[in-house]
């Protein structure tokens, strides 16, 4: 889903100067909430899936937050964009797309 210009301001995203830590990012908050939801949902999966499918889904959902945190720490814009690409790939992997 592509976001139109300035649409992010309508949905309550913080201004860049208000963001002091990666946990202040709305995308991080959403990814963290999704990872927690995924963890709860996968508790209901069959026991035979626990060590294969469940493990893969949980690890990939956690890696989204980890990639965002790592991207925040990177010093150059190019490396930050590379981490963003990895994050998008991980999201697609988790989403099944």
For residue 91, pLDDT over 70 is answered with yes
Question: Does residue 56 sit within a domain?
Answer: yes
Both tokens of 68, joined, read 């965002």
CB atoms within 10 A of CB 84: 15
Question: Does residue 81 sit within a domain?
Answer: yes
pLDDT digits (tens, 9 = 90+) for 15-38: 666 777 888 889 999 999 999 999
Q: How far, in Å, CA of 16 to CA of 24, rounded?
A: 10
Question: Does residue 4 sit within a domain?
Answer: no
pTM of the model: 0.59
Question: Does residue 49 sit within a domain?
Answer: yes
pLDDT confidence of residue 20: 75
Indicate the number of domains in the chain.
1
Structural domain containing residue 33: 25-95
For residue 94, pLDDT over 50 is answered with yes
């Amino acid at each position: 889903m592509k976001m139109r210009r300035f649409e992010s301001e309508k949905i309550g995203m913080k201004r860049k100067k208000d963001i002091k830590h990666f946990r202040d990012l709305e995308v991080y908050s959403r990814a963290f909430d999704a990872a927690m939801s995924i963890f709860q949902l996968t508790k209901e999966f069959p026991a035979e899936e626990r060590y294969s499918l469940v493990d893969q889904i949980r690890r990939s959902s956690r890696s989204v937050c980890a990639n965002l945190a790592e991207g925040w720490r990177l010093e150059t814009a190019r490396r930050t964009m590379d981490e963003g690409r990895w994050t998008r790939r991980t999201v697609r992997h988790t989403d099944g797309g």
